[in-house]
Amino acid sequence: MMNKQFEKAAKFIEKNCTADDFSLFLYRSDETATRYAQNMITQNMTGVKYGVRLNVAYGSKTGTSRINSLDETELKRMIETAQNIAKLNKPDPEFVPSSSKAKIPKTANMSENTVKFSMDGMVDIIKKTVDNAEKKKAFVSGIVTKTVSESYLKTKNGFEGSDSSTSFENSMTLADNKTREAKVERSVKDVNDYSIKKEIEQLNSRFDALTEPKKIEAGQYNVILRPQAVINYFSFLLYFMDRKNADYGVTAFHDSIGKNMFGKNFSLISNLDEKDLTAAAFSGDGIAARNVDWIKNGVVKELFTNRSYAAKIKAQPNFIPNVIIRGGNATEQEMMKKVKNGLIINNFWYIRTVSLRKNEVTGLTRDGIYYFENGKIKHSVNNLRFNEVLHNAAKNILLLGKEDNIAASTKVPTMLIKDFTFADTTSF
């Protein structure tokens, strides 16, 4: 059902905006969060946030203004600001009129279980994490968050769409007074899909496997990338797979459509029908969502194309409503037995682009890294800096685990990858 406040704001914009064209995006987020640290609750937060964005155009001269209130005085000021900017602006050579009426897919992004989930339930989850930490003679810290959000887009040319979604997230880090520190985090659409028992078991498993880290040399290693590492690494595809940049030769995706860049074991899709994931019904600039095979068995099928560039090349625009990297059935134990030795990577961070034209990124390991040999974890190792080309890593996938819902809109598997390049070592 349409948010009445959004409906009222949209009518006010329609009545008072005198520009030739406009696009209005409204967002509401009702968030409840509880932080905990040193085995105790440290902060409770709750509140509603609004976001309002108005794009206007006089001819091809555009202006944008943003506010965080639905008050009519603020809405009027936003209109005036956007219109004044547009009048002073130079014509935009890439301007396209706002989206016209479109058929918006029905998406099941809301969970009543999450909406009704109480603060008591959140506190109970924290109590279980603290009880576990005390049994381990360690300390736990983290944050539990419940979010209910609504979005609405209306344009002068007839596009109108609304969407609502829920998410529940818990991130927790277990540490002792020495060198051991392990972390797990998960976000789900339906809180009933979240198992604190399984998350604690995973946290304990990672924590118990940590030993005094040994230093190893930089070089190429077989790696088992756990899901959080997989998404943090391969999410850079969401930036690199831009059609315009590819056509202009800025990225490695130049002339890539229809070609096998990634190897048969890699498929990246967006699927609105994935019941346990959320999927945006439309983009912020008025593109209706659809199912897309971005990469299928290594072959590039589509690149991300915004409305402006799609109009120029006479293609269908698209965007990323959710992210799924297809998996397999291999267990982590089977992966360790597949190769003689290697490293298990829990996560990456500080990831940066090295070369757009090569699809190469660099970053650091985090949250524990383990050396395994002959099917068994032997010891922890110091963190390493990697330099690796995304499509080369995908070509080197040996085995895939089952897909894991690590975020409300994201599902990826564990991967066994051969010859992953680590360029440098660290002292920690």
> Within the chain, which residue ranges are assigned CATH 3.30.2290.10?
4-202
Parallel, antiparallel, or unpaired for β 323-325 and 268-270?
A: antiparallel
Give the residue ranges of DSSP H helices in 257-305. Answer: none
- Asked if the model's pLDDT at residue 2 lies above 90, the reply is no
Q: What is the pLDDT of residue 6?
A: 97
* Average pLDDT estimate for 113-118: 98
* Average pLDDT estimate for 87-110: 97
If one counts every other C-beta atom within 10 angstroms of the C-beta of residue 53, the result is 17
Residues in the chain: 428
Residue (of 32, 12, 34, 33) closest to 24 by Cα position: 12
Residue-wise pLDDT tens digits, 323-367? 999 999 999 999 999 999 999 999 999 999 999 999 999 999 999
* Distance from C-alpha of 31 to C-alpha of 165, rounded to nearest angstrom: 12
Parallel, antiparallel, or unpaired for β 341-355 and 292-296?
A: unpaired
3-class state of residue 1 by DSSP:
coil
Q: What is the pLDDT of residue 211?
A: 87
* Average pLDDT estimate for 134-149: 98
Domain 4-202: assigned CATH number? 3.30.2290.10
Residue-wise pLDDT tens digits, 218-267? 999 999 999 999 999 999 999 999 999 999 999 999 999 999 999 999 99
* Distance from C-alpha of 86 to C-alpha of 51, rounded to nearest angstrom: 21
**Mean of all residue pLDDT scores within the chain:** 97
* Average pLDDT estimate for 87-93: 98
Cα–Cα distances in Å, from 160 out to 157, 195, 281, 288, 355?
9, 37, 11, 10, 39
Q: What is the pLDDT of residue 78?
A: 99
Residue-wise pLDDT tens digits, 177-222? 888 999 999 999 999 999 999 999 999 999 999 988 999 999 999 9
Q: Which two tokens stand for residue 260?
A: 């096998």
For 364, the enclosing helix (H) or strand (E) is strand 360-373
- Asked if the model's pLDDT at residue 1 lies above 80, the reply is no
Residue-wise pLDDT tens digits, 15-55? 999 999 999 999 999 999 999 999 999 999 999 999 999 99
3-class state of residue 67 by DSSP:
strand
- Asked if the model's pLDDT at residue 383 lies above 80, the reply is yes
User: Which residues is 324 bridged to in the sheet?
Assistant: 269, 411
Q: Which two tokens stand for residue 355?
A: 């070369």
Q: Which two tokens stand for residue 347?
A: 């996560």
Residue 214: partners with Cβ closer than 8 Å, 6 or more residues away:
371, 379, 380, 381, 382
The sign one gets for the Cα dihedral 127, 132, 135, 140 is negative
